[in-house]
Amino acid sequence: MKIFIDTADTAELEAAFATGLVDGVTTNPSLIAKSGRDFKEVTKEICSMTDGPVSAEVASTDYKIMVKEGRVLADLASNVVVKLPLTVDGLKACQDLTEDGINTNVTLCFTANQAWLAAKAGATYISPFIGRLDDLGMDGMELIGDIRALYDAHGYETEILAASIRSTAHVQDAAITGADVATIPPKVFNQLFGHPLTEKGLDAFVKDWASTGQSIL
């Protein structure tokens, strides 16, 4: 499963990319707004930091305007993925942009039926929102499994991009359930590295080694 980082903060991205484990980035209007910077400027800067895909979202909800915005975004950098809402207009725009050879990420998916329609529209990625379903007392991970089964049964190549991830358990379960990608907030990404027993064990090893008075170098 690939790892994308869900942020528009370039400092957070720089730290994440330094691990060598990150494959791409997702952004949205809310994340861009938090940065307080120009949308296009931030998008181009993020795209220059990685060869991987960078999702940048359209602002309109109108089909024709979304197509125009998508083409503008795609011209910002070769690794831009145009993010579109899962609406009738959004899927129409997805079809047009796909025909133009532009990669797309259809977002705000909450049912397997929606994911099926996005795949038929040619979406490169589908973004089911796990956490938001969990908030309603539903099982967001069940949706990942349903989409995986549907896509495998019919040979769809659209990649499942698990989104709205709130915890390391979400990341683990998404990988086990068959998501192709998980887009992870920086805080959760950093938590993936840690465990109290890892820290305890390492402390013991360091102390034991120091007691020998030896050096590997």
The question of whether 40 is a catalytic residue gets the answer: no
Looking up residue 108, the CATH number of its domain turns out to be: 3.20.20.70
- Residue 164 CA to residue 142 CA, distance in Å, equals 14
Q: What is the pLDDT of residues 4-13, one digit of tens each?
A: 999 999 999 9
Q: What is the pLDDT of residues 182-206, one digit of tens each?
A: 999 999 999 999 999 999 999 999 9
Q: Is 44 exposed, middle or buried (0-12, 13-18, 19+ CB in 10 A)?
A: middle
Q: What is the pLDDT of residues 27-78, one digit of tens each?
A: 988 888 888 889 999 999 999 999 999 999 999 999 999 999 999 999 999 9
183 phi and psi angles, rounded to 5 deg = -100, 125
Please name which of 173, 189, 30 lies closest in space to residue 107, comparing C-alpha atoms: 30
175 found inside a domain = yes
67 found inside a domain = yes
Annotated catalytic residue, options 83, 187, 200, 207: 83
23 found inside a domain = yes
Residue given tokens 């938590």 in the structure block: 191
Please name which of 107, 76, 80, 102 lies closest in space to residue 91, comparing C-alpha atoms: 107
Structure confidence at residue 53 (pLDDT): 98
- Residue 84, SS3 per DSSP: strand
- Residue 120 CA to residue 127 CA, distance in Å, equals 15
- Domain residue limits at 160: 2-212
217 found inside a domain = no
